[in-house]
Amino acid sequence: MQPRHFLSVVLAATLWGTGGLLGTLLADAAAVPPASVAMWRMLIAGAVLTAWLLARRAPVLRGLDRPMAVRILATGSLTAVFEVLYFTGVALAGVGLATLVAIGSAPVWVALWDWWRHGDRPAGRRVLALGVAVAGLVSLLGSSLSVGDGAAIGVAVAVVTGAAFAGVTVVNREPVPGLGAARLTALSFAAGGVLLVPVALALGWGAPAGAQAWGYAVALGVISTALAYVLYLGGLRTVPPFVATIVSLLEPLVAAVLAAIVFGERLGWPGVAGGAALAAAIVLLRPQRDEPESIH
């Protein structure tokens, strides 16, 4: 596991943390339903990255072969499923519970896959890091954990959401020759965004209106999505999927800190303790000098 790739995944999780804030601001500014927010963030991310590749005269569609196309469609479809299911879980179980179950279950799904497929078991230090991170997440989100009428269904949806995110990570554990992170993100998110168009039409259509709303949408697509996923998918070159999914638990911490700054929400001592635990988990996961660079 190379330090630069580990840092890349940490930065990706940090940028994902801005998504909740920008998505909330977009929804408030233009009354854009959640399904449409997911659609716009993917379409904008795909369009911006495609334009960037074209400006650099890098290949976009030229030279695509079957392995590339399979990887692009798999990544785009799984990400689209993740986006829709996450917002569905939030609607049914609330933000705190859905986030805890969805993000917290992703490393477990990866560990189960690695055990079933490769016979691998995560190292004790990484299991400890997962336990510390989940405990920190519970402490951080404790005040928002509520159980409503649809909580049971919402939790089930969130578990599947975690599996979808784990799928994105596992699928991309090994790069496809000729398909860099930027090209993969551009094409997979363009495909995923198109797949979400009928979903948005069915569940709630909406589009940004005005310069402010479009500013939020572009920031959501570029910063929280395009740049974040390029960093994440690039980091998976040497960062094991189990480690990467644990690092992704930084996302709600960043979101909570931004909410405190922008909306004046109070973290309280449990939130501070939870944030410290999440930071400690990242320290436990940092690359070791004698650690092999295996991605399994």
- For residue 53, the model assigns a pLDDT of 95
pLDDT < 50 positions in the chain = 295-296
What CA–CA distance (Å, rounded) separates 105 from 100?
A: 8
Residue 183, Cα to own-chain centre: how many angstroms?
A: 18
- For residue 292, the model assigns a pLDDT of 55
What CA–CA distance (Å, rounded) separates 292 from 239?
A: 11
> For tokens 């909580």, what's the residue?
151
Q: Which two tokens stand for residue 104?
A: 């917290």
- For residue 296, the model assigns a pLDDT of 47
Residues 6 or more apart from 287 whose CB is under 8 A from it?
A: 1, 2, 3, 6
- For residue 73, the model assigns a pLDDT of 96
How much is the pTM? 0.90
- For residue 28, the model assigns a pLDDT of 82
- For residue 295, the model assigns a pLDDT of 46
Give the domain ranges of the chain. Answer: 3-285
- For residue 248, the model assigns a pLDDT of 93
**Chain segment 125-163, per-residue pLDDT in tens:** 999 999 999 998 888 877 655 555 667 888 899 899 999
- Residue 239: DSSP 8-state: S
- For residue 264, the model assigns a pLDDT of 78
What CA–CA distance (Å, rounded) separates 293 from 296?
A: 9
Q: How far is CA 110 from CA 53, 116, 206, 246, in A?
A: 31, 10, 35, 10
